[in-house]
Amino acid sequence: MWRISGRTGCAWALIALTAALGVMVLATPCHAQALDTPAESDSLDLNINFGAQPANDQDAPALSEPMKIVLLLSVMTLIPSILLTMTSFTRIVIVLSFVRRALSTQSMPPNQILIGLSLFLTVFIMSPVITKINAVSIQPALNKEITTMEALKRAETPIREFMLKQTRKKDLALFAKVANVQEKLTRENLPFHVLLPAFALSEIKTAFQMGFIIYLPMLVVDMVVATLLVSMGMFMLPPMMVSLPLKVLLFILVDGWGLVIGSLAQSFL
């Protein structure tokens, strides 16, 4: 029996999360389910057909090792898209970019720092999803209790729950209308090609709302400094030279980074 623990378990869980997300994008059915469908058909069918399948699923041949390698390499090419559109990364990196622009610090912190911090925060926020996937999908698969395709199906549920929790009903209805879905849908049986763009759009909206709240007090500081300089007749002194240290000082005094990071983490609860 193989067992996963510590850093090895986290690494395998991350690989499984990426593989499950990639397979869902490639294998999601292009039709919606009706509201009155039975309970056993609530989950999406992730069956990948490699040639003709026997009538009995138990007699279906398992994927060969070369096919597994090809599938894994194909999924790895989707890692950037998966990270940007199916996790908390989008909201985090946009909000942190708003913080930097609000402070008017140009390239401080550098892009590499913001991306690295966003990645680690994404792993932190997605850790409950990763842990659940490891428990219901990775461990049974490594213990030869379920097949590879069954493990991918089980890994789908935690991901869908996370995405549905963060997606607005208005955005779901928008993309269902654009996709010309005629059947009456619920949040649980939405096709993945409708859920994915709706989730991405909701994340961008939420990030811009948080960015506005961050930007507003910094804008007030800029306006106050500019007004004072004009009233004092100091037209040749750029207001940015005075407001920049004041905004940095204000951000430090209120523990700005702690507030921003804490608000980001709590926004996903």
pLDDT the model gives residue 192 = 81
pLDDT band at 91; cut points 50, 70, 90: very high
Tokens 């950037």 label which residue? 80
pLDDT the model gives residue 204 = 93
What the block records as the tokens of 236 is 């040749």
**Is the pLDDT score of 57 beyond 80?**
no
What the block records as the tokens of 221 is 């500081």
pLDDT band at 201; cut points 50, 70, 90: very high
pLDDT the model gives residue 260 = 92
pLDDT band at 16; cut points 50, 70, 90: low
Instruction: Say if residues 13 and 131 touch (Cβ distance below 8 Å).
Output: yes
Tokens 């138990």 label which residue? 58
pLDDT the model gives residue 27 = 44
The residue among 150 and 25 whose pLDDT is bigger is 150
Distances (CA, A) of 85 to 65, 78, 79, 88, 259: 29, 11, 10, 8, 25
> Rounded to an integer, what distance in angstroms lies between the CA atom of residue 133 and that of residue 192?
18
The residue among 220 and 17 whose pLDDT is bigger is 220
pLDDT in tens, 165-178: 898 888 888 888 88
Peptide bond into 109 cis (omega under 30): yes
- Segments in 104-147 forming alpha helices (H): 111-133, 139-142
pLDDT band at 209; cut points 50, 70, 90: very high
Q: Is the pTM for the entire model greater than 0.85?
A: no
Q: What is the mean pLDDT of the chain?
A: 76
